[in-house]
Chain A
Amino acid sequence: GAVVSQHPSRVICKSGTSVKIECRSLDFQATTMFWYRQFPKQSLMLMATSNEGSKATYEQGVEKDKFLINHASLTLSTLTVTSAHPEDSSFYICSARDSDSGLVYEQFFGPGTRLTVL
């Protein structure tokens, strides 16, 4: 149980294009999902908290117009990197909280997406 998938696992795109990354909770409902980014040799850094049916909450320094988040259902959140540039190349990973779990602190992670912008 508590499986989170992420698609695609790897994407290479040209500078200026937009890239959409999907995060799905496969066997549970998630009212809250989280998007993280990891640069080489650094920690996972929280970018934003995605809430089903409402606007995402972005961390300081993360451009909301650059990283569009949509959480339209209880099992799917998407992150769109708009007009991607080489400095957006990174590892993006999502996590989800089980809405029905009594363990409020648990987060289940997807396998991540490696984005390379040429």
Chain B
Amino acid sequence: SQTIHQWPATLVQPVGSPLSLECTVEGTSNPNLYWYRQAAGRGLQLLFYSVGIGQISSEVPQNLSASRPQDRQFILSSKKLLLSDSGFYLCAWDQGGETQYFGPGTRLLVL
């Protein structure tokens, strides 16, 4: 069966520091991968998606970037965090079907 992992689970970082969040999927190959952000009390905002290795599309302009160095690995990064980057970051995957499956999420607090 397929599983999706995210780490770290929780992160507290100072403003201006770098960021790296990792997402990996097991049990499938060539998945579509997604990064979402959920701000406190709000819905989900799609940040990036990837349909293959090295293929990244950005949905909204922002302070973040994404990379897909391997088929089942998706990384969310920032060179300098802003206060507004705080939130709950969710990785998701699908296999070109209709349903996306989500990871457990990373809670980021920027101080």
A binds B: no
Residues of B within 8 A of A (CB): none
